Amino acid sequence: MKNVYIINSSSVGADYGIGTYIRQISEYINSADINLTFVHLYSKEKAFSVKTRRAIRYIDIPGATFPSTYNPEKAYNRYCRNIAFLLMPYVDNSQENIFHLNFINQYHLAYELKQRFNCKLFLTVHYFEWAFSLNGNREKLQTILQRRNETADHLEKKIISSVDAEIKLFNLCDRIIAVAHHTADTLITIYGIASSKIAVLHNALSDRYHPQTENEKMQLKRRLYINDKEKIILFVGRLQKIKGSCFLLEFFRALLKKRTDVRLIIVGWGGEIQTQIQNAHSIWAKVTFTGFMEQADLDKLYRIADIGIVPSIYEEFGYVAIEMMMYNIPVFVNNTSGLKEIMQNNPFNTFNIQEVDCAPRLASKINRLLSNEAKRAVIAQKCRNLYKKRFDYPLWRKKLLKLYLSR
């Protein structure tokens, strides 16, 4: 019997991709050979608590208050040590234990767990810290690292420091799960991690799609007060530069020049939301900003969407793309990083926002597709077939269980 402890933490990431990943584990990873425990750090619970539901244990550990004399790093390190002590009654060192981490800034927690428990450490790499600052530009990162001993500005020093901390965490871990092949390549090329330590396991989603008639789609649009005749272009994600939010509006303006029976729905929150609202001047009547949405409400938008667009400059993997594919939506993605891997370099469903005329060319392609319902249906089905073949959860579940049960 193995005991697997899934480490979660309250954060923006937990509301997006990491939260989805952990929910998938809680819902679909079940085996007579594994005892599952979910450990939630910085929990919103007022006090430490342990509960069991459907044979799964949930441990909630709220944040801690430290003296004002503690700097943030010292306070965090003390919190990590406290976590290890709190977990001691719930970890049997006579059995095989796996702690599965999901955040890349948890070296101190990993260290404390290794010090106190007979365990293996697994880490799923959902992101790299430097990617947010450099928009995923690996060549620029390598340039910064090559001149680490030269004078560097504040940002470069911060990036070098984060990479060094990540290397320490990677070296401490027994197994690293890369969500894409390009992630594994980065771990090997940039961080010097042995390929034998890395397992590539693409993210996956359980299938929630149910075919609907055109009449059912129209009825849902009316309940949402959306015009029957409007074609829905859907974007879901954080409103940040790295998610391509600036290109999104540039493309939509180009599309509006070709047809006016379209509406862009932008689902998500982020630091650039006010900027993007201002950038939508003169087309506000055609753009809907929803903010963050619960899954049940988001699923309604997936059911009425005609086109999905994921213009991220960098994406480690891209849950949104496969979620749109699952819902039988024709999806168009920027041909980069994890998105390129999802679409397997399919030239029809990819675009390159680095090209000068990308926005008008993409607008022309989508305009033609919206004018040809038969072709749109074919492209939608191809997207869904790709999801079923590569990103439905049974295959992911089988591979993750195999990793947990391996020696």
pLDDT mean values, one per 10 residues, the chain (407 residues): 94 68 89 92 94 95 84 89 97 96 95 97 95 92 87 86 96 97 96 97 94 95 95 94 91 97 94 89 94 94 98 93 97 93 87 93 97 96 95 93 91
Residue 120: partners with Cβ closer than 8 Å, 6 or more residues away: 96, 97, 98, 99, 174, 175
DSSP, residue by residue, 222-236: HHTT--TTPEEEEEE
Residue 293: partners with Cβ closer than 8 Å, 6 or more residues away: 267, 301
What is the pLDDT, as a whole number, of residue 270?
A: 85
**CA dist., res. 295 & res. 210, Å (int):** 15
What is the pLDDT, as a whole number, of residue 67?
A: 78
What is the pLDDT, as a whole number, of residue 52?
A: 95
Strands 2-9 and 231-236: unpaired
DSSP, residue by residue, 120-179: EEEEEE---HHHHHHTT-HHHHHHHHHTTTS---HHHHHHHHHHHHHHHHHHH-SEEEES
Class of domain 214-390: alpha beta
What is the pLDDT, as a whole number, of residue 333?
A: 96
Q: Where are the domains of the chain?
A: 2-205+393-405, 214-390
Beta strands across the sheet bearing 49-53: 49-53, 56-62, 34-43, 2-9, 96-101, 119-125, 175-178, 198-200
**CA dist., res. 98 & res. 119, Å (int):** 5
Bridge partners, residue 308, by sequence: 234, 331
**CA dist., res. 147 & res. 2, Å (int):** 45
What is the pLDDT, as a whole number, of residue 16?
A: 55
Which stretches of 44-84 are assigned E, i.e. beta strand?
49-53, 56-62
The answer to whether 2-205+393-405 and 214-390 have equal CATH topology is yes
**CA dist., res. 209 & res. 403, Å (int):** 29
What is the pLDDT, as a whole number, of residue 12?
A: 53
Residue in the block written with tokens 């213009």: 311
Class of domain 2-205+393-405: alpha beta
Structure tokens at 347: 């030239």
